[in-house]
Amino acid sequence: MINVKQLMKSYRMGEATVLALRGVDFTINANEFVAIMGPSGSGKSTLMNIIGCLDKPSGGSYHLNGQEVSSLDDDALSAVRNKEIGFVFQSFHLLPRLSALQNVLLPIRFAQNDEGSEAYAQQLLARVGLGERQDHRPNQLSGGQRQRVAIARSLVNRPTILLADEPTGALDSKTSVEIMELFTELHRAGQTIILVTHEEEVAAYAQRVIRMRDGEIVEDVIKQIAPQDARGERYA
């Protein structure tokens, strides 16, 4: 699904060149739940942006579902991103004037693929426990409910990969557990999930943890075997 070889990313800062990624190698297979961890400046956010086709590497290769995407132009990257990847962010990124249902529908409207979309969006909202709140605006929802809307929105285009960047960072501990249990349930249903976090409690939900420091992978550990009940159709 994801194959990265000798991935490099450098930035110019004044007269200096900063190496954010220094020859990163790894493979992520379908239906893995992977947490990427590391201190500030470790390269984990840069890596997430490249995996999510939001940025391009300076060197190396990145194959996504068999396609080399590291050298694609911006339009081609946008098409891959819209088709293959769903995003969940710490700050939700919901539009305040739209209802929960309208927010979930946004990626489909952007892709101009509306056939059957509203029914599926309603199904996803029900799946994340918000079936009765689809007409509520973000300011009428709690933080955990807004993140559930964001998760439903990330799944509406049926992506092969769900990327979550500090998805519990703005939530209290009880709500964080609820959100991570939802991610676990999605993973058991077949969804591939890659999560960036600095919290050990959050990473504990993943089956595999990749730790980074100074632009390099320093540890890559499979924590447990994928659940035997990881079957059925993906909710994405």
64-76: average pLDDT: 90
Q: Which residue has 């209802």 as its token pair?
A: 99
pLDDT at 135: 96
101-110: average pLDDT: 88
- pTM here is 0.89
Contact indicator for 111, 82 with CB cutoff of 8 Å: yes
Q: How far apart are CA 57 and CA 139, in angstroms?
A: 38
The residues with which 28 forms a beta bridge, in sequence order, are: 2
For residue 106, what are its two tokens? 């946004």
pLDDT at 234: 39
pLDDT at 116: 58
